[in-house]
Structure 1
Amino acid sequence: MSQNVNQPASKRLADYRPPAFLIPELSLAFKLQPTATEVTAISHVVRNGDHHEPLVLDGEALELLSAKVNGEAVEVTQLPGKLQVATALDDFELTLVTRINPQDNSTLEGLYMSDGAYCTQCEAEGFRRITYFLDRPDVLAKYSVRIEAPQAFKYLLSNGNNIDSGALENGWHYACWQDPFPKPCYLFALVAGDMDLLEDSFHTCSGRDVKLQVFVDKGNLHKAHHAMASLKKAMAWDESRFDLEYDLDIYMIVAVDFFNMGAMENKGLNIFNTKYVLADVESATDDDFHGIESVIGHEYFHNWTGDRVTCRDWFQLSLKEGLTVFRDQEFSSDVGSRPVNRIHAIKVIKNQQFAEDAGPMSHPIRPEEVIQMNNFYTVTVYNKGAEVIRMMHTLLGESGFQAGMKLYFARHDGQAVTCDDFVQAMQDASGKDLTQFRRWYAQAGTPEVTVHDSFDAETGIYRLQLRQQTAQRLGEQSKLPLHIPFSVELLDPQGQSLVNQVLDFTQAEQTFEFSGLKSKVIPSLLQDFSAPVRLSYDFSIEQLLVLMAHARSEVARWEASVTLFSHAVWRNVERLQQQQSMVLDSRVIDAFRGVILSESLDHALAAEILKMPSASTLIEQASQVDLDKLLCARDYVLEAIATGCEDEALVRYRELHGVDNAGSRAFANALLSLLARGTDGHESLLERQFTLAANMTEALGALSAAVEGNADCRDTLLATFEQRWNQTPLVMDKWFSLQATINEAEVLDRITELQQHPAFSMSNPNRVRSLIGAFAALNIAQFHRADGAGYRFMTDIIKKLNSSNPQIAARIVTPLIQFGKLDPVRQLLIKQCLHELLALPELSKDLFEKVSKALKD
């Protein structure tokens, strides 16, 4: 294997040591200039324990102007990424003055400029690009911040409460902020710019009035109201569900267009990607509105689960992220549709997290080793972490879980702690032994639960035999049995519910008996996805039809539909491999026809059922994939269902089109996508919905159906959409993504040409994700084309991004490193590309970690 000469070292959880020094107070002063911002940092430094180690601070891309200890110049040694301060004092004041260049900071970490405004992103290790500091989450300080800038930068914002502001000479002004709560430096934030401001207030349960502010780019104020409403809804929910009240006098959200992440929970000053703030009915879909509500809630909920109690070290990231994802999922479920929100969460786990578990970046939700921390902001840490919290909630119940939360805050408010501290609080408050359950934090991989059942007609006993196994990867220790809450419903052949129970599955093999039954039952297994495991059970079509129609859980009905569709596809893959013609059991078509015709089924749930499993979903169901035959079989089954249900879908669509609620719009759009794949194609329907659309959900639904169905009107509709929205970046992101997913050989030429579009910028993460990222992640057929052109294209893009924004390069490389299920020829083509990346002389740590692990896997 080719090697990069500068292989970065790994950090290990086992090597954690408390900081040699603490910094309980930090005063920062900024004189903002685009290419020469001056930062004065005055730290109160305290030696932590009895030792004689030097003070060694982290720093990158900094120009040191001066260094003083207690007002006197001090000797310092500058090392790669470090600054060593020569002092034997145990308690002192350190004053450092540095100069930085925000304008040329293309990494979008530390302090940088976004469309003429200053903003920061310090998580995970961006603060070291602002000043030399102990850039680690277990060093908590109280911050005082003074910002000076020209008055053209109208708003000067930082964490905490505003304590002073005023005018200065030469057309400058200043603002001073003070945060009364100790925080790690990754939660520091600064924003300076001239923006539109939406203001409101929230009356807390204790009677305080909190000022709420949402800052957006000029001209976008009308798109900030949903974000404000979502914030107030989240604040009220956290009080009522978790008894948690906001603690500062002001809460601010700032939307910026250049941002590597979705949003950031900096104490009192959340910086958001515009994607999760700006929305109105004309330019945003129902899914956009839902996403904004969810992410606003997520960042607000971090105020307690992440800010007030934070991580001891970055290996504990799931302590705050898994817990807060669980909280935002519960928020969305309490204020919206619980089944649909649960389905969305399950899709992320099955489509993305299972793929991560099966790939070279597989890791536990509490990783043991890391090269670049940015690479561990993953669906494993976030979403599987949330599933682990959800299992804990299932085991303890709502009251036991809430008791654990209260004990957790009582013990650890104002501290940087570990995942073990959280689990211990849950165990102590509930009395539930969670010793075995802790293995979920330490073991990587997706457990597979194999189920066999039997019925003894003489005794009336039905038996479920469960076996759990987690694959052991090279170099890993053998996996121990996990504590799996396994939810089961048993139905009789007519669909009557007989048993609904959560089983404590704790052994490698375990048998559960159910007595008093009159006939063999139909099992609904792992209901509501009660644990993040792969389920192996040989469902018959008859069983799946009963579950689709009668399972008490709406999520289980959806799961049955996914299984029914998937089985049909895989059976046809087998037929193609045996050189037989493809067929589809008419009962499968009848089942989906029943969904279309149902008058009782929730419209949003019906829409989810009709969004047939994607190619990515199907790939994750197998250990090895004949990709060409899989894509062919999926298209066949999808088109057979669309053709078989065409008449009913057309009638139902006409009933639903124009009904003004999100569920009905989703159902209508799902029907339109089916119709676009039918024998007629229904071009007139596509054109009519697009032309007469009353909102973005309808317009984009028609455009998406035209792209997916390869309609003749596709390019005309795309051109019309571009003419209407070419000045609105977030809407253009949707347009870029749709073009990137077109399944035709010329799509690479199309994407190359689109990179020259005035609305596209390779320096903007949103644009890169929408066009380049969407191609690699969603256009399975063309990304994995047999000649390797898709891989070659992505490699060239990643080379460019490696030097400008390595964090984004490492994010979009993921589809390129998850090649283990592909045929040998495709694997070889991908490995050739990865070797090229590994040989880059200036390969970033972000990419090195992912690429090197992929080639070792």
Structure 2
Amino acid sequence: MTADNTLLVQRQNYRSPDFAIDTVELEIFLRPQDTEVRSRLTLQRLNPSAKDLLLDGEGLELLSLSLDGKDLSSDRHSREAGKLRVKDVPEHFVLESRVRIQPEANTALSGLYYADEVFLTQCEAEGFRRITWFLDRPDVLARFTVTLHAPKVSCPILLSNGNCVATGDADNGWHWARWEDPFPKPCYLFAAVGGSFHVARDRYRTGSGREIGLELYVAERDRDACEQALQSLQKAMAWDEKVYGREYDLDRYLIVATDSFNMGAMENKGLNIFNSKYVLASPETATDADYQGIESVIAHEYFHNWTGNRVTLRDWFQLSLKEGLTVFRDQEFSADMNSRGVQRIGDVRRLRAAQFAEDASALAHPVRPESYKEINNFYTATVYEKGAEVIRMMHTLLGVEGFRAGTDLYFQRHDGQAVRIEELLDALATGSGRDLSGFLRWYSQAGTPRLKADGHFAAQSGRYHLRLQQHTPVTPGQEEKLPVPIPVRLAFFHEDGTPARLPDGQEETVLLLEEASGEWTFGPFAKPVLPSLLRGFSAPVLLERGDAEAADCFLAQHDDDPFNRWDSLQRLAQKTLLASIANPGRSVLGPELQAAFAAALSRPLDDPAFSAELLSLPTEESIGQQMDPIDVDGIHTQREALRRALGDTFAEDWRRLYHDLAAPYRRDGRAMGSRRLRNLALYYAMSSAQAEETQGWAERQYRSADNMTDRLAALQLLAFSPDYDAMPLLNDFYQRWQSHPLIIDRWFSLQLGRAVPETLQRAQELLQHPAFSWRVPNRVRAVLSAFAANLPVFHARDGSGYHFYGEQIRHLDDLNPQTAARLATVFSRWSRYDEAHQRQMRTVMEELLGKDRLSRDLGEILERSLGGSEKRS
């Protein structure tokens, strides 16, 4: 059986809704196996020619249906392909329905579901139709009143959007709570929660003097892990007031944490539901990266209150309108809270790893896609991270004041509306007085542009001549590519490493390349200069320099832009590795790279976090992006050889850093950076000729660590070492932390990083472990994502890694199609490998396509990955 041929939803076919829903009254009687939902909708016709009302629904058992208080006979309504047709409705009317749903059987975790003895909802993108019949689309905004009923013992806490206006007890040990949301919202922002929780509370006073109650709902075992989330929320609220003038609009802000959640978090109005990973933290249980991730994701969901909730989407093709803009906002927040340079490096590393890879695969698509079969498949790095980069480019051109003027106008014009990306660009353009229409091409074209830079210094005139050219390669379904506006931040340096001022006295300027090519002349300069291009990664492009070798060697040591210095050193390392992969007999550590590392190690403690970034090797995935075909084994072998060469060459530096940076635990930016640099030193030291001695360092660090960052770093290095038996330490780790699900997720992943054939058998064993559960997405990802990230094992030449992974995707698709589809995207770059690997991957994907009851989610990913034909509406 092949994937279904459901017609594509296409952006060009958008139609305004035929009906508006003014108010929604819901009564939900929560039972794990048998929940009843009563709905009362007040509607009005918008399209005079629309006689029938079509509502969305999925998996609903209809118990009763009435219009204006009268039961509808069977000839007045019908069911058809996920729709309920109510025939011949009046202009204004009230529709009431009763349906039965089964939350406990809802393993897809979409709609209302029951997991870990708690009732939860996830309605984005189209989950509300699994709760009741509705116009499930983002451009239908309504005011909701929700009454939740449940047994008081098992569900003492009942939450929904807005304000709690009444509570009471009922017969048979039940109780109820009524919530009213004063703000119209689309149904994808609806939320309801019922269960038993510990509640951590705090307050926030807004700039206008309003007191906001902050409430964090977690499992009782996690009562001591709430401080970071509440502090992050307070910081985000203050930052949004200061930077964007946006104040929170309800009296309470609620966050619920759960292990059973497909996504990272969801911005439901006033009631955010979070994956526990992005809420819970204490030094004993969370790493420094966890603390930073919590701060970022808490802020992201809070910022959605205005960029996504108060101003929402006309249709799902506009998804980046809220996500790209909000990712940019959370990145800027994190940059202000921490190191701006280190934050930018992290942002770009994630962009290149996920989005550039996506652009280079069969799944390439524009920031605003033109069609989809399953909207869940477009929650992608392109929509989020590349969308954020498009916003960043406009911010770069407009400046802080111009961008703020534009966003102020955007909120003023469109508060309470469902709009398109065009409305945002128009507000930014009007508010700043600058034409931004060319940026719509970034939203409509897939692919990563190539920016070629050629320049030379003319000694006679003292001027530097620069020529820039852009080209975007063909992507699936898009043969023709037009030029896009590319802002290029630029500075110059003299040969001695000192900055060269431009004639206007500035050290930096921004060029805008809008056509296929452009030329600029700078100077005069008294001495020869070399440009630092694309500073801060001012545009999401691949930079190709005519003078790349000389520029990378120079800028890796002298550039004062943190991102460009890091990027230059990364390119030097990649060039060295690619050469050694092509010629395995040559030296893997060339003099240029050795000099760049020596310079980075000359003053490593000036900024330990930046030094740790600077001294990190390119990932195996990033090296593979530079190869065609990708040589997985060659990449792994040569990267490990470079690690050993650096470990031996700078052995005394690693030893000194490791011992000098030992310190009691503190949680501030510098201490976090120092821990990261110390653990990087251990990483290199353990690959040196003194490996046996340094393994002893790691063992002692694991046993004596006063924080999870150091304990986990040591355990990972030992677990990934092919010549070390880490099982006694892994068993010890499990015994210590078996009651903490998030930590045990790490325990599962740690056992799958060793690049040896036996890792496949270990993955099979872990799927049978008593602590493994297919119903918990975090646990599933802990095994399958970690296995796929082990490239030599996943890409084993006999295809065993692919077939194992495909079997798990097949099983998961019956339980949780969203998670199955996301995990299956690792196959999308199959064409970048040699013929043997291609054949194995194609076989697995084709077998999955023949699966009985193949989900729309997984089917679309497989079809697009294989380049299958699409039926268009």
Question: Which deviates more, 299-308 or 512-521?
Answer: 512-521
Q: What SS is found at the alignment partner of 2:220?
A: coil
Cα distance in 1, alignment partners of residues 753 and 448 from structure 2: 29
Q: CA RMSD in A?
A: 1.4
Corresponding residue of 2:619: 614
Residue by residue, what CA displacement relative to the aligned partner does 1:548-575 show, whole Å, maximum 9, x if unpaired? 2321211111111111111110111221
Report the AA paired with residue 530 of structure 1: S
User: How big is the shift at 1:351?
Assistant: 1.0
Identity of aligned residues (%): 44
Q: What SS is found at the alignment partner of 1:813?
A: helix
Corresponding residue of 2:136: 135
Alpha-carbon contact 2:3-2:856 (below 8 Å) kept: no
User: How big is the shift at 1:542?
Assistant: 4.8
Cα distance in 2, alignment partners of residues 561 and 517 from structure 1: 27
Cα distance in 2, alignment partners of residues 522 and 669 from structure 1: 35
Aligned residue among 591, 603, 623 for 2:596:
591
User: How big is the shift at 1:599?
Assistant: 4.8
Q: What SS is found at the alignment partner of 1:315?
A: helix
User: How big is the shift at 1:718?
Assistant: 1.9
Aligned residue among 653, 661, 673 for 1:663:
673
Report the AA paired with residue 43 of structure 2: V
Q: Within the alignment, does 1:812 sit opposite 2:819 as a pair?
A: no
Report the AA paired with residue 122 of structure 2: Q
Corresponding residue of 1:154: 156
Alignment of 1:706-745 (within 5 A): 706-745=718-757
Q: Within the alignment, does 1:625 sit opposite 2:626 as a pair?
A: no
Report the AA paired with residue 715 of structure 1: M
1:594/1:705 CA distance change after superposition, 3 Å = farther
Question: Which deviates more, 512-521 or 692-701?
Answer: 512-521
1:540/1:38 CA distance change after superposition, 3 Å = closer
Aligned residue among 798, 805, 812 for 2:809:
798
Q: Within the alignment, does 1:605 sit opposite 2:610 as a pair?
A: yes
User: How big is the shift at 1:323?
Assistant: 0.5
Corresponding residue of 1:512: 520
Report the AA paired with residue 849 of structure 2: L
1:247/1:412 CA distance change after superposition, 3 Å = same
Alpha-carbon contact 1:582-1:633 (below 8 Å) kept: no
Aligned residue among 253, 257, 275 for 2:259:
257
Corresponding residue of 2:25: 27
Cα distance in 1, alignment partners of residues 78 and 369 from structure 2: 33
User: How big is the shift at 1:519?
Assistant: 4.2
User: How big is the shift at 1:538?
Assistant: 4.7
Alignment of 1:529-540 (within 5 A): 529-539=537-547
Q: What SS is found at the alignment partner of 1:145?
A: strand
Cα distance in 2, alignment partners of residues 241 and 713 from structure 1: 52
Q: Which runs of 5+ in 2 are unaligned?
A: 501-506, 869-873
Corresponding residue of 1:761: 773
Aligned residue among 532, 535, 538 for 1:524:
532
1:103/1:612 CA distance change after superposition, 3 Å = same
Report the AA paired with residue 700 of structure 1: L
Cα distance in 1, alignment partners of residues 23 and 476 from structure 2: 46
Cα distance in 2, alignment partners of residues 380 and 38 from structure 1: 39
Alignment of 1:380-395 (within 5 A): 380-395=382-397
Cα distance in 2, alignment partners of residues 115 and 88 from structure 1: 42
Count of matched residue positions in the alignment of Structure 1 and Structure 2: 851
Corresponding residue of 1:694: 706
Corresponding residue of 1:781: 792
Q: Within the alignment, does 1:245 sit opposite 2:227 as a pair?
A: no
Cα distance in 2, alignment partners of residues 800 and 594 from structure 1: 51
Cα distance in 2, alignment partners of residues 589 and 691 from structure 1: 34
Residue by residue, what CA displacement relative to the aligned partner does 1:352-391 show, whole Å, maximum 9, x if unpaired? 1001011111111111010100000000000100011110
Cα distance in 2, alignment partners of residues 444 and 623 from structure 1: 20
Report the AA paired with residue 820 of structure 2: A
Question: Which deviates more, 800-809 or 453-462?
Answer: 453-462
Q: What SS is found at the alignment partner of 2:809?
A: helix
Residue by residue, what CA displacement relative to the aligned partner does 1:406-438 show, whole Å, maximum 9, x if unpaired? 000010000000001100000111111112122
Residue by residue, what CA displacement relative to the aligned partner does 1:294-335 show, whole Å, maximum 9, x if unpaired? 100000110000000001000000000000001111111111
Corresponding residue of 1:82: 83
Cα distance in 2, alignment partners of residues 711 and 733 from structure 1: 24
Cα distance in 2, alignment partners of residues 713 and 594 from structure 1: 36
Q: What SS is found at the alignment partner of 2:366?
A: coil
Cα distance in 1, alignment partners of residues 195 and 738 from structure 2: 25
Aligned residue among 532, 540, 554 for 1:546:
554
Q: Within the alignment, does 1:557 sit opposite 2:560 as a pair?
A: no
Aligned residue among 159, 171, 174 for 1:172:
174
Q: What SS is found at the alignment partner of 1:455?
A: strand
User: How big is the shift at 1:592?
Assistant: 1.5
Q: Within the alignment, does 1:111 sit opposite 2:112 as a pair?
A: yes
User: How big is the shift at 1:474?
Assistant: 4.6
Question: Which deviates more, 78-87 or 622-631?
Answer: 622-631
Corresponding residue of 2:871: none
Residue by residue, what CA displacement relative to the aligned partner does 1:184-226 show, whole Å, maximum 9, x if unpaired? 0000000000110011111111111111100001121101111
Aligned residue among 399, 402, 407 for 1:400:
402
Alignment of 1:444-459 (within 5 A): 444-459=446-461
Corresponding residue of 1:831: 842
Cα distance in 2, alignment partners of residues 5 and 696 from structure 1: 45
User: How big is the shift at 1:653?
Assistant: 1.1
Alpha-carbon contact 1:140-1:185 (below 8 Å) kept: yes
Cα distance in 1, alignment partners of residues 547 and 740 from structure 2: 48
Alpha-carbon contact 2:139-2:314 (below 8 Å) kept: yes
Cα distance in 2, alignment partners of residues 355 and 640 from structure 1: 29
Cα distance in 2, alignment partners of residues 110 and 430 from structure 1: 41
Report the AA paired with residue 110 of structure 1: G
User: How big is the shift at 1:488?
Assistant: 1.6
Q: What SS is found at the alignment partner of 1:123?
A: coil
Cα distance in 1, alignment partners of residues 736 and 540 from structure 2: 43
1:296/1:353 CA distance change after superposition, 3 Å = same
Report the AA paired with residue 584 of structure 1: L
Q: Within the alignment, does 1:645 sit opposite 2:650 as a pair?
A: yes
Report the AA paired with residue 32 of structure 2: P
1:713/1:523 CA distance change after superposition, 3 Å = farther
Aligned residue among 580, 599, 623 for 1:572:
580
User: How big is the shift at 1:625?
Assistant: 2.3
Alpha-carbon contact 2:106-2:113 (below 8 Å) kept: yes
Q: What SS is found at the alignment partner of 1:804?
A: coil
Corresponding residue of 1:372: 374
Cα distance in 1, alignment partners of residues 462 and 58 from structure 2: 70
Aligned residue among 233, 236, 239 for 2:238:
236
Corresponding residue of 2:323: 321
Report the AA paired with residue 114 of structure 1: A
Q: What SS is found at the alignment partner of 1:362?
A: coil
Question: Which deviates more, 361-370 or 700-709?
Answer: 700-709
Q: TM-score, normalised by structure 1?
A: 0.98
Cα distance in 2, alignment partners of residues 351 and 516 from structure 1: 40
Corresponding residue of 1:227: 229
Cα distance in 2, alignment partners of residues 207 and 474 from structure 1: 53
Q: What SS is found at the alignment partner of 1:781?
A: helix
Question: Which deviates more, 447-456 or 290-299?
Answer: 447-456
Cα distance in 2, alignment partners of residues 375 and 462 from structure 1: 47
Alpha-carbon contact 1:597-1:652 (below 8 Å) kept: no
Q: Within the alignment, does 1:58 sit opposite 2:56 as a pair?
A: yes
1:655/1:600 CA distance change after superposition, 3 Å = closer
Alpha-carbon contact 1:279-1:289 (below 8 Å) kept: yes
Alpha-carbon contact 1:727-1:759 (below 8 Å) kept: no
Alpha-carbon contact 2:23-2:42 (below 8 Å) kept: yes
Question: Which deviates more, 514-523 or 169-178?
Answer: 514-523
User: How big is the shift at 1:545?
Assistant: 3.6
User: How big is the shift at 1:650?
Assistant: 0.5
User: How big is the shift at 1:726?
Assistant: 1.6
